[in-house]
Structure 1
Amino acid sequence: MTATRFLPRERLQTLFDRIGDLGYRCIGPQVRDGAIVYDDLRDAAALPVGIGAHQAPGRYRLEHYAHARCFAWANGPQALKPLLFAPQETLWRVTRDAAGGLRFAAEQPPSQRRAVIGLRACDLAALALQDAHFAGALADPGYCGRRRDLLLVGVDCGHPADTCFCVSTGDGPAVTGGADLALTELDTGFLVRAGSEAGRALCDALPLRAPSAAELHLGEAEIEHARQSQRRSLPGHNLRDALFANLDHPEWDDVAARCLACGNCVAVCPTCFCSTEREQPAIDGSEAARVRLWDSCFSAEHSYVHGRLLRPDTRTRYRQWLTHKLGGWHDQYGRSGCVGCGRCIAWCPTGIDITREARAVCAEVADQPEGEA
């Protein structure tokens, strides 16, 4: 990150204007249907000014406050995942010509330059995991195309929810990387730092000034307060061995009695990437499309292999989700698949808390200092 500069609050619109001048479609947070969601946003006045989000297990409610801040809320149900790993995407099509021959063609999504404003550190950490999966050795062309055309503006999280635990996963609350531009919101404006060449070019086009020592101190105090305010945590950074040593733990039965297997947790999780594929044939048989859809390891079909279900009940499906997320990902990506955003806790209809379940199953490591597990 470059040296910190300052953008007065009354000049925030210039950030949107300069992004638009560079040819990007601006996407930002806004209030819709009782939640903070990301969608097209060209006017800074449409940001959720004076809005906070009260989150608890199984509960998400917006609250109104008498301040002018735009980012004084913890994350909503969305992250970057819907913009990059599309909920539904055509992979290829096959058409039948006049002679009855079949022609196959890959479907290439249209190029679209998009700038996303307001991303949290946990979502940028999740993006790095999505990149490792979709942009690695076996790169997904649709994902990679959308990823190349993305400009990212992160905002430090100064108001974590009761469900947040990014400190224990090492993924927040401050934006330390992964963003082209990073902001820290103060009452009077924003501390601004660039994290890429694109971010530096954007800074050069903004009406920035040097920050005062008091403004820098306030920014540091915001982050420290956010760190200290988090009360939830995972019992360690690497729970792989403890989880796989407890596949018959009675907690799996207990959580299965509460879990609806609805898939809300995986839908809002910024790192989950399970999918299924379907054929969509034309009714006249002239063509068909191969479509990829989001899926969930909580669905029965997801574990169907050659005539049988490998995970026939909610107990085995929840166990698969938790052990893979917090354990198996260490073998695949060198770290946990959880970034501590807490979405799965807030959006679970029965309020199941992943930190509580992990502590119950991994009781023998629950009291160890962070990093030793």
Structure 2
Amino acid sequence: MHKGQFVLERSGLEQLLQALRAEGYLTLGPKVREGAIVYDEVQQLEDLPIGYTDHQEGGTYRLRRRSDEALFGYNVGPHSWKRFLHPPLLRLFRARKVNGNLEVENEAEPIPKYAFIGVRACELAAIQIQDRVFLGGPYQDPHYKARRAQVFIVAIHCTQAGNTCFCASVNSGPRAQTGFDLALTEVLEGDRHYFVGEVGSEAGGRLLDRVAHRPAEGPECSRAEALVAQTARNMGRRLDSEGLKERLYQNLEHPRWEEVAARCLSCGNCTQVCPTCFCTSVEDHNDLAGQIAERTRRWDSCFTADFSYLHGGSVRVSTKARYRQWLTHKLATWQDQFGTLGCVGCGRCITWCPVGIDLTEEVAAMNNPAISTLPGRQEGGTHV
């Protein structure tokens, strides 16, 4: 494996992209589409969000133009890499009547070799959390395992902090530590546009050999480190995770639950954009002729009434109960189940909540029994 840091010029990133495609990878990365930066197939550098950034607040997401030609000068958008590893809709099987007999179709569709381009540190942490969920126990998800086994990851260290980000306070960013094949820091200095990188796997080293690069010099490394360090200092939010699990368990009847429930729409946006939420439901369907039946798995949300339905009704009828379930699972019982927080500090749940509910503010309120309402948050945030 290569040792030390290297420098990749902007043209070298194009070579990297084409080298991955030549090896049969489906290259996925950020693209501008429908007023947001989403993840989709990228075939060349021009597909990336060149010169774009985003402004995010509670319930607010807007694209803006930058004053430079940065390729990764934005924060995270509504998509996460979860949609490729743990698809929103997955057919489990299909059966068909043939001459009076039921035959199960073997639809072993080929799974693409994915190359993820531009994975942020918080997103990499989220992938590692889902690895624990789907692969870490005695019962492994074969669909997730098959997709995850072939992924090549090019991580991007963050060089700007978003207003809703708090990854630094939960130790998941802004610098990626492990789990990548290659990791890059984008640097723009005057007329220079380059990337300082490091190799994280044997596969990453082999691919790098096919791309023009050189060893990084001291000033280049220092500049890259300074950008990441400044990002860590400029986080827009902070989550106090010290003793968090115990504090939440001790405040299950805190009056703040009622207050946040009065604002929450139970829409499930937070769970849909979250890179670690993994709840699903299984549905059976058949055609009107009764000849074809299939079973599918789709994303679900603990904010829906049906999710907790048992014989006779839903276990969590109120919005208060659903929000409390989500927050305490994400930050407390998740630790009991998987040994880690279920939150990586990406801030998506804050940005994409239609009423701007802020997880970090709710936790701060729960931490102080004397607080029942935080100033300025009674009316909800700006609509997306």
Tell me the TM-score range normalised by the shorter chain: over 0.9
- Asked whether the equivalents of residues 54 and 62 of structure 1 are also in contact (C-alpha less than 8 Å), the reply is yes
Give the CA deviation at 1:238.
4.5
| Counterpart position of 1:122 | 122
Matching residue's letter, 1:49:
I
Change (3 A) 1:2 1:172: farther
Q: CA deviation at 1:93?
A: 2.2
Distance in 2 between the 1:87 and 1:183 partners? 29
CA–CA distance in 1 between the matches of 2:126 and 2:208? 25
CA distance in 2, matches of 1:2, 1:107: 43
More deviation, 292-301/102-111? 102-111
What is the identity, as a one-letter code, of the residue corresponding to 1:326?
A: L
Q: Residue 347 of structure 2 is aligned with which of 331, 336, 342?
A: 342
Alignment match, 2:8: 7
Give the letter for the 2:180 counterpart.
A
- Secondary structure (helix, strand or coil) at the match of 2:207 reads helix
Q: CA deviation at 1:232?
A: 1.3
The 8 Å contact of residues 4 and 215 in structure 2, kept in 1 or not, is answered as no
Report the alpha carbon displacement of residue 350 of structure 1 after superposing the two structures with TM: 0.3
Partner residue of 2:208?
A: 203
* Match for residue 284 of structure 2 among 276, 279, 282: 279
Contact residue 256 and residue 362 of structure 2 kept, 8 A: yes
Taking a change above 3 Å as real, the CA distance of residues 2 and 263 of structure 1, as seen in their structure-2 partners, is farther
1:105: Cα distance to partner?
Answer: 5.5
**Contact between 1:134 and 1:140, CA under 8 Å: does it hold in 2?**
yes
Q: 1:237 Cα shift?
A: 4.4
- CA–CA separation in structure 2 for the residues paired with 1:252 and 1:274: 22
Q: How does 1:192-271 map to 2 (within 5 A)?
A: 192-271=197-276
Q: Deviations over 1:49-88 (max 9, x none)?
A: 1111100000011110121211111111111110011100
Indicate whether 1:306 and 2:307 are aligned. Answer: no
Map Cα deviations across residues 132-167 of structure 1 (whole Å, 9 max, x no partner): 111232111111111112111110011120100000
Contact in 1 for aligned 2:248/2:328 (Cα 8 Å) = yes
Offset from partner CA, 1:288-323 (integer Å, 9 cap, x none): 111001100000000101112110010000000000
Residues 158 and 223, structure 1, Cα contact 8 Å, conserved in 2: yes
Q: Is the 8 A contact 1:121 1:171 kept in 2?
A: yes
The range that moved more, 45-54 or 314-323, is 45-54
Aligned to 1:27, the other structure's residue is in SS state: strand
- How far residue 95 of structure 1 moved from its aligned partner, in angstroms, is 2.5
Aligned with residue 332 of structure 2, among 309, 316, 327:
327
Q: Does the residue aligned with 1:171 lie in a helix, a strand or coil?
A: coil
Aligned partners of 1:321, 1:138: CA distance in 2, in Å?
23
Determine helix, strand or coil for the equivalent of 2:152. strand
Residues 163-206 of structure 1 show CA distances to partners (whole Å, capped at 9, x for unaligned) of 00000110000011111110010012001111111111111111
The aligned counterpart of 1:110 is 110
SS where residue 160 of structure 2 aligns? coil
Q: How does 1:58-73 map to 2 (within 5 A)?
A: 58-73=59-74
Q: Percent of pairs identical after alignment?
A: 43
1:162 and 1:120 map into 2 onto residues whose CA distance is: 16
Tell me if structure 2 keeps the 8 A contact 1:266–1:272.
Answer: yes
- Equivalent residue number for residue 288 of structure 1: 293
The CA deviation string for residues 87-133 of structure 1, in whole angstroms up to 9 with x for no partner, is 000112223231x3334466534221111100100001000111111
Counterpart-to-counterpart distance in 1, 2:124 and 2:12: 25
Partner letter of residue 172 of structure 2? D
The correspondence of residues 334-373 of structure 1 with structure 2, limited to 5 A, is 334-363=339-368
User: Does the aligned pair in 1 maintain the 2:59–2:356 contact within 8 Å?
Assistant: yes
For the 8 Å contact 1:279–1:291, the answer to whether it is kept is yes
Cα deviations by residue, 1:17-68 (Å, 9 ceiling, x for unpaired)? 1111111111110111111011011111221111111000000111101212
State the Cα RMSD in Å. Answer: 1.5
CA distance in 2 between counterparts of 1:15 and 1:239 reads 42
Mapping for residues 151-166 of structure 1, pairs under 5 Å: 151-166=152-167
Match of 2:91 in 1: 90
Q: How far apart, CA to CA, are the structure 1 residues paired with 2:333 and 2:97?
A: 43
In 2, Cα distance between equivalents of 1:343 and 1:118: 17
**Which residue of 1 is the match for residue 375 of structure 2?**
none
Unaligned runs of 5+ in 2: 372-384
Contact 1:238/1:327 (CA < 8 Å) preserved in 2? Answer: no
Once residues 243 and 47 of structure 2 are traced to their aligned partners in structure 1, the CA distance between those partners, rounded to angstroms, is 41
Distance 1:11 1:319 in 2: 48
Contact 1:238 1:330 in 2 (8 A): no
2:135 aligned with 1:135 = yes
Match of residue 378 from structure 2 = none
Normalising by structure 1, what TM-score? 0.94
Kept after mapping to 1: 8 A contact 2:26/2:115: yes
**Quick one: distance in 2 between partners of 1:203 and 1:16?**
11
**Mapped partners of 2:342, 2:132: distance in 1:** 11
Relative to structure 1, the CA distance from residue 108 to residue 340 in structure 2 (aligned partners, 3 Å threshold; closer, same or farther) is same
Which amino acid letter does the alignment assign opposite residue 76 of structure 2?
N
d(CA) in 2 for partners of 1:203, 1:59: 39
Looking at structure 2, the residues matched to 37 and 237 of structure 1 have their Cα atoms a distance apart, in angstroms, of 33
Aligned residues: 364
